[in-house]
A and B are shown apart, each in its own frame.
Chain A
Amino acid sequence: DAGVIQSPRHEVTEMGQEVTLRCKPISGHDYLFWYRQTMMRGLELLIYFNNNVPIDDSGMPEDRFSAKMPNASFSTLKIQPSEPRDSAVYFCASRRQGVGEQYFGPGTRLTVT
């Protein structure tokens, strides 16, 4: 298996622009998680899905952030409009039902100038 796939790996954008991050989970995994990692706040869970349904979005920082999972093999995290404080590495992870281990993707490094 190719593991969790994220794109793009790097994104540089200007403040106010819309940013879309993409994730393909491991085939057969029922759960998908979006995390944000910064030096100041560490690894934060933003939102997670079970069978394509959002279960908990309490970590989504503001209405500027939204996430969708239209099918079992694809999810997006969108930031509109982006701000410099959104600069971080965003990780997607997936896991199988009943198994604790989460498999993380390589991350997308977002820089908002």
Chain B
Amino acid sequence: QQQVKQSPQSLIVQKGGISIINCAYENTAFDYFPWYQQFPGKGPALLIAIRPDVSEKKEGRFTISFNKSAKQFSLHIMDSQPGDSATYFCAASPAGGTSYGKLTFGQGTILTVHP
């Protein structure tokens, strides 16, 4: 019940295209859903996060869509650029109390954007 399932494992997109990464969870106690971006040799860095009180959150070219009933959320990268090539992780945690931020990560998606 603690799993977060992420797909696809890898994704190749042309410059200017849309990249879509999907995640699904089972634990209904999860209440905070961040996406992290990781470049080779670096630690993950927060890209964007959402709480289930909204169905969509947009920051620049990055959008999270959230479907609470289906227990699914996705990351959309519009106008994908070669600089977006990285590994993307979805994650989930309970919100509030000392468990807030106890992240369960998806397996990661390696995104390659061709110029």
Contact residues of A with B, CB < 8 Å? 4, 31, 33, 42-45, 48, 50, 55-56, 91, 93, 95, 98, 100-107
Contact = CB atoms under 8 A, between A and B. Distances in A.
B42 A43 contact: no
A87 to B, nearest CB: 16
Interface in B89-112: 89, 93, 95, 98-108
Interface stretch (B15-23, B44-52, B56-64, B72-80): B44-52
A101 B34 contact: yes
Given A50-B98, A100-B49, A91 B43 contact: yes
A58 to B, nearest CB: 10
Nearest to B44: A104
Nearest to A51: B98
Interface residues of B, number: 23
Contacts of B45: 103-104
A106 B44 CA distance: 8
B98 A100 contact: no
B42 A106 contact: yes
Contacts of A91: 43-44
Contacts of A95: 101
A91 to B, nearest CB: 5
A104 B101 CA distance: 13
Contacts of B101: 31, 33, 48, 95, 100, 102
B75 to A, nearest CB: 16
Given A104-B44, A105-B43, A106-B42, A48 B102 contact: yes
Contacts of A93: 43
14 contacts: A42-B105, A42-B106, A42-B107, A43-B44, A43-B108, A56-B99, A56-B102, A93-B43, A100-B49, A102-B101, A102-B103, A104-B43, A104-B45, A106-B41
